[in-house]
A = this chain, B = another copy of it.
Amino acid sequence: MAERNHIEIRDGLRSLYVRSRRTLDRILAPYGSSAARLSLMTYIAKNGGVRSAEIIKAFTLAPRTVTEAIDALETAGHVQRRSDPVDGRAKVISLTPAGAKLFRKLEPLWERFAEELLDALSGEERRQFATLLGKLNGRLEEIYAELEEAAALEAP
């Protein structure tokens, strides 16, 4: 039965995502961080000074989400916004020294959690899983594009 599979996958996916995020949030909460904030800090750490718009594209998030997240990180003193000297509209976001220090402490915690979780799979299974996620994400992109197109036709 195809439907059995649908439900199993839907529930399995939801369960895995929601609960792994929750678990990671618990691990990071004592440091005043979270899964969302750490992934953002990771992106900034790897890419140096970045713009809000760049983060929006990289994570496929709504602008609101990113502004809010940066606000929180800035209030906590982990990142700073500076006006882009070249483009007056843009702001460049970078880690503060304190943010960089915190990142170096938290990254291993995430890495340990990921390793512990993925330990449930063999190397071959991990590759399979990554491949399947990639295929589904590709298809999702197509579906999303169709929806956008349909919406554009409705409200011209």
Contact = CB atoms under 8 A, between A and B. Distances in A.
Interface of A: 2-3, 5-6, 8-10, 12-20, 23, 26-27, 39, 60, 111, 113-121, 125-130, 132-140, 143-144, 147
Nearest to A117: B139
Contact of A16 (B23, B116, B137): B137
A90 to B, nearest CB: 25
Given A136-B120, A140-B23, A115 B5 contact: no
A140 B23 CA distance: 9
A127 B5 contact: yes
A121 B147 contact: no
B113 A23 contact: no
Contacts of A119: 139
Contact of A19 (B8, B15, B60, B125): B60
A103 to B, nearest CB: 15
B136 A117 contact: yes
B135 A132 contact: no
A143 B27 CA distance: 11
A17 B13 contact: yes
A39 B20 CA distance: 20
Given A15-B60, A60-B15, A5 B139 contact: no
B6 A111 contact: yes
Nearest to A2: B115
Contact of A135 (B23, B60, B115, B121): B121
